[in-house]
Amino acid sequence: MPRIKFIVDHLGKYKLALMILLAVTIIYAGINLIPNLVISFLIDNVISGRPVSDGFSRFLNDILGGTTYIREHIWLVAILLVVIYFLVALFMNIRQRLQGDVAENLCENIRDHLYSHIQLLPYAYHVKIKTGELIQKCTSDVDMVRRFFSGQFAEIFYILSTAIIALLVLFNINRELSLWVCISLVIILIYSYIFFKQVQKQFRLSDEQEAVLSTNIQESLSGIRVIKAFNRELYEIDKFIKENEKYKGVTLKMIHYLGYYWSSSYMIALFGILLIVVMGVFEVRAGDLSVGDFTIFISYQTTVLYAMRQLGRILSDFGRLSVSIDRLKEILEEKAEDIHTGLTPSLRGDIYFDHVSFKYDDDPKMVLDDIDLKIKENETVAIIGPTGSGKSTLVSLLSRLYEPTSGHIYIGGTDIKEISKAHLRDNVGIVLQEPFLFSRSIMDNLKIIDEKVSDDAVYNATKIASVHDVINGFERGYRTLVGEKGVTLSGGQKQRIAIARTILKGSPILIFDDSLSAVDTETDAAIRAAIKTLNGKMTTIIITQRVASSKDCDRIIVIEDGKITQTGTHEELCAQDGLYKRINEIQSQIVTGEEVR
């Protein structure tokens, strides 16, 4: 039922189209069986001269002018068959068009829902999920739904309708033979069901291994620069070959299952047909079955039995469909992040970390331990500390990418838990350590925060980020296209464009998450000097490893092992024994070329 609900929920306005499709399929199945009845009427009543006994034969006899007239004008039967086959073709066309409409619109709705939901999932989900697996689910699994509803779904109803109509006709002709036909159908159905249960697990294994393969490809392509730099091409090739071998193994096993099913079910169907042929011959010889009716039995049983074999294939695809829907539901059942509910106050004011602690769900160690910190409005604060000390986590909590394990964070006296996440993130601008640029023009990347922002505002932001002249130096200037992830730009150029983009946002709180480390010290100083001109307009937090980036700040916070160990100005901290003084001495000696003792 949950899987059916999943489909119904995503059909939207095409629920009616699906109902029409089913009706058209049933009509198509019925019309497709008529030619055999016409041929039986021609053999038994027109050619052999047997009296007209059943309702359908009487109907044909009446509309075509009687058996004598038909025998003299046999071409009437040919015209009737042409009309019937024209109707078959017409309903087949309508059926195919409806199948396409339903399948494509269903999958469009699923894709839209998936993409929207993924965008709204918490940051913590994206950190733990493998991108390749997510992509595989959103492509292969959605395509499995599309393929099933573009063909097999309506085929189920066609097969069932054909079987029911055919059996009604056959029972009207000869009950004993019809019972044997039913037994053959039941055997095929039971066999198909057993196969469906057995093969479902193999479908899941194949899909899961395909996801592993997709992840491998995605990671390799994303990290191709690292692979080249460390000469790891052969290692990655070997790794891919091993995963591909596993995928081939589980998929071949699934194909072998299908091969076994098709061959064995074919034999069962043939034995069923042989049984009816032998019994039908005796019935005809005894005069209990006409040649025309015998022809109907053979043609109908062949049609229905082979259709039931096809039903087995559809049931196996239904197994794959079930797996795909379950995998899609796994994404949609993840709780989306509510980014709109909450207050929307002015976020100009002091920032206060009130005894904040944080640890990840899968790690008992505290990343931040009892942080008690107040940052004044419009103050520029540097946060410095060793790698893994919790600096970046601190600002992630400020934008509510994560929630504190304990304690509270206030901006302007308002607990940020009460503030709408969308409003909070609109007012907290972050320049990340690893900037991301889209494969668009530089201007498009800068205006991604607001397409209506003026070019003059863009130029002002790029001047502050010391990148305006660099951009104008390109042949196409701001219309220069950057490659995927900004690959055509240097690391420093990407970082400065990312800085300009965040400055352009005009947030009252601006955070540099170790983002100045990608630019040289001269550019770093120029950017900080330009940002100083914005003092009085925004609160600035600079996370850095460089003393040079922090020395001019109003205050410097030193974090070690998740705890604040020092706070003060550059001069005050240099006068104290501690981590900051040691870092300053080391970096000063490196800059002046002195040997570190």
**Is residue 345, in this structure, part of any structural domain at all?**
no
Based on the fold, state whether residues 34 and 108 are members of the same structural domain: yes
Based on the fold, state whether residues 260 and 392 are members of the same structural domain: no
pLDDT surpassing 60 at residue 168: yes
**Is residue 339, in this structure, part of any structural domain at all?**
no
pLDDT tens column, 114-156: 998 998 888 888 878 777 778 878 888 888 889 888 888 888 8
Based on the fold, state whether residues 488 and 567 are members of the same structural domain: yes
Residue matched to tokens 């550059």 = 570
Q: What pLDDT, on the 0 to 100 scale, is given for residue 437?
A: 81
Average pLDDT over residues 351-374: 89
CA atoms within 13 Å, Cβ hemisphere of 112: 10
| H-state helical runs in 377-507 | 391-398, 421-427, 442-446, 455-464, 468-472, 491-505
Of the residues 273, 301, 332, the one at which a domain ends: 332
Range(s) of the domain holding residue 430: 351-592
Task: Please report which confidence band the pLDDT of residue 49 belongs to, taking 50, 70 and 90 as the band edges.
Answer: confident
Based on the fold, state whether residues 465 and 568 are members of the same structural domain: yes
pLDDT surpassing 60 at residue 59: yes
> Rounded to an integer, what distance in angstroms lies between the CA atom of residue 185 and that of residue 181?
6
Task: Please report which confidence band the pLDDT of residue 205 belongs to, taking 50, 70 and 90 as the band edges.
Answer: confident
Q: Which of 167-171, 320-324, 527-531, 578-582 has the highest mean pLDDT?
A: 578-582
pLDDT tens column, 539-585: 889 888 888 888 888 899 999 988 999 999 999 999 988 888 888 88
CATH of the domain at 463: 3.40.50.300
Task: Please report which confidence band the pLDDT of residue 419 belongs to, taking 50, 70 and 90 as the band edges.
Answer: very high
Based on the fold, state whether residues 99 and 178 are members of the same structural domain: yes
pLDDT surpassing 80 at residue 525: no
CATH of the domain at 171: 1.20.1560.10
Helix (H) or strand (E) holding 242: helix 233-285
Task: Please report which confidence band the pLDDT of residue 595 belongs to, taking 50, 70 and 90 as the band edges.
Answer: very low
Based on the fold, state whether residues 453 and 567 are members of the same structural domain: yes
Neighbours of 567 (CB within 10 A): 15
Beta sheet of 563-568, edge-to-edge order: 428-431, 509-513, 539-544, 380-384, 555-560, 563-568
Based on the fold, state whether residues 532 and 434 are members of the same structural domain: yes
Q: Please, are residues 554 and 381 in contact by the beta-carbon 8 Å criterion?
A: yes
Q: What pLDDT, on the 0 to 100 scale, is given for residue 594?
A: 47
pLDDT tens column, 253-285: 888 877 887 788 778 877 877 887 888 788 778
Q: What pLDDT, on the 0 to 100 scale, is given for residue 512?
A: 85
The amino acid at 162 = T
**Is residue 171, in this structure, part of any structural domain at all?**
yes
Based on the fold, state whether residues 560 and 466 are members of the same structural domain: yes
Helix axes 15-41, 55-64, angle to 10 degrees: 80
Q: Please, are residues 321 and 148 in contact by the beta-carbon 8 Å criterion?
A: yes
Based on the fold, state whether residues 64 and 178 are members of the same structural domain: yes
pLDDT tens column, 7-47: 988 998 899 999 999 999 999 998 988 888 888 878 877 78
Q: What pLDDT, on the 0 to 100 scale, is given for residue 233?
A: 82
Based on the fold, state whether residues 83 and 139 are members of the same structural domain: yes
Strands 406-411 and 380-384: unpaired
> Rounded to an integer, what distance in angstroms lies between the CA atom of residue 387 and that of residue 242?
35
**Is residue 554, in this structure, part of any structural domain at all?**
yes
Q: What pLDDT, on the 0 to 100 scale, is given for residue 355?
A: 93
Nearest-5° Cα angle at 176, 170 to 181: 55
pLDDT tens column, 339-348: 889 999 988 8
**Is residue 236, in this structure, part of any structural domain at all?**
yes
pLDDT surpassing 70 at residue 593: no
Residue 559's SS3 state is strand
Based on the fold, state whether residues 161 and 130 are members of the same structural domain: yes
pLDDT surpassing 80 at residue 596: no
Q: What percent of the chain has pLDDT over 70?
A: 92
**Is residue 343, in this structure, part of any structural domain at all?**
no
pLDDT surpassing 60 at residue 521: yes
Q: What pLDDT, on the 0 to 100 scale, is given for residue 286?
A: 77
Please tell me whether the overall predicted TM-score, pTM, comes out greater than 0.75 for this model: no
Of the residues 332, 362, 397, the one at which a domain ends: 332
pLDDT surpassing 70 at residue 485: no
pLDDT surpassing 90 at residue 190: no
In the chain, the number of structural domains is: 2
Neighbours of 298 (CB within 10 A): 15
pLDDT tens column, 211-252: 788 778 877 877 776 777 767 788 888 888 888 898 888 888
Mean predicted lDDT score pLDDT of the chain: 83
Based on the fold, state whether residues 402 and 504 are members of the same structural domain: yes
**Is residue 458, in this structure, part of any structural domain at all?**
yes
**Is residue 346, in this structure, part of any structural domain at all?**
no
